[in-house]
Amino acid sequence: MKTIIVVILMAAASSAFGCPVCDSDVGIAVRAGIFNDSFPLTFLKVFAPFPVLGLALYAVNRCLPD
C-alpha cells in the first residue's frame, strides 16, 4: 500500500513541473489578468448564484409533500 501511495505522489509531483506555459511570459500575463485588483468582485459575481440556488432547492425540498 505504501508503494502505491509513493508512486502516486511521485507522479503528481512530476506532472506539476510539466506545464510549459506556467513559467513563460504568457502564463505570467494570464495570472496577472486573473488575479488583479478586480478578483474579489469577479469571485463574488461568479459564486453569487450558488447560495440562491441552494436556498431555492432547500425551499422546494421542504415544501414538497413526502
Number of structural domains the chain divides into = 1
Please give the pLDDT value at position 27.
Answer: 85
Instruction: Report the SS3 class of residue 35.
Output: coil
Once rounded to an integer, what is the mean pLDDT over residues 2-29?
A: 76
Please give the pLDDT value at position 17.
Answer: 63
**Domain enclosing residue 14, as ranges:** 2-63
φ/ψ bin of 6: left (φ > 0), alpha (ψ from -120 to 50), beta (otherwise): alpha
The three grid cell numbers given for residue 39, joined into one nine-digit string: 478578483
Please give the pLDDT value at position 52.
Answer: 95
18-66 confidence digits (pLDDT tens): 677 777 898 889 889 889 999 999 999 999 999 999 999 999 999 887 6
Please give the pLDDT value at position 50.
Answer: 97
Planar angle of CA 29, 21, 26, nearest 5 degrees: 25
Choice between 1 and 51, residue whose per-residue pLDDT is larger: 51
